[in-house]
């Protein structure tokens, strides 16, 4: 007697996320971190983003919003690594400069 609309049982829509979406997201997030597209750090971030997008597209059924979130998380992890390395390098440089100035 009850009519089923079918919408309750439809699986989540498959993502239409593309490599262009990945590249644009990386540009947006890396630009805020002052990474140039030719830098080694940018290339590492892009590689991680593409790997995440490829994995999720192959093995998970994510919406575009979920895909963006997953890729953004991967990008932020890589950007944090780069920022940590920058901080460590500048701290070492500051210590070295101070030692030579006093030594």
The model's pLDDT over 57-88, given as tens digits with 9 standing for 90+, comes to 888 888 899 999 999 999 999 999 999 998 88
Nearest-5° Cα angle at 40, 39 to 44: 120
pLDDT of residue 10: 47
CB 41 within 8 A of CB 68: no
pLDDT confidence of residue 7: 46
Q: What is the DSSP letter of 8?
A: G
Task: Say whether pLDDT at 51 is over 70.
Answer: yes
Which H or E element spans position 79? helix 64-102
How does pLDDT run across 1-34, given as a tens digit for each residue? Answer: 545 444 454 455 667 899 999 999 999 999 888 8
pTM for the complete prediction?
0.70
């Amino acid at each position: 007697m009850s009519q089923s609309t079918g919408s309750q049982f439809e699986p989540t829509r498959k993502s239409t996320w593309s490599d262009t979406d990945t590249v644009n997201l990386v540009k947006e997030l890396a630009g805020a971190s002052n990474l140039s597209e030719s830098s080694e750090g940018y290339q590492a971030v892009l590689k991680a983003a593409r790997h995440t997008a490829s994995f999720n597209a192959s093995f998970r059924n994510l919406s575009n919003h979920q895909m963006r979130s997953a890729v953004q998380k991967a990008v932020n992890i890589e950007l944090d690594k780069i920022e940590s390395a920058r901080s460590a390098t500048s701290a070492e440089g500051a210590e070295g400069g101070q030692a030579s100035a006093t030594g």
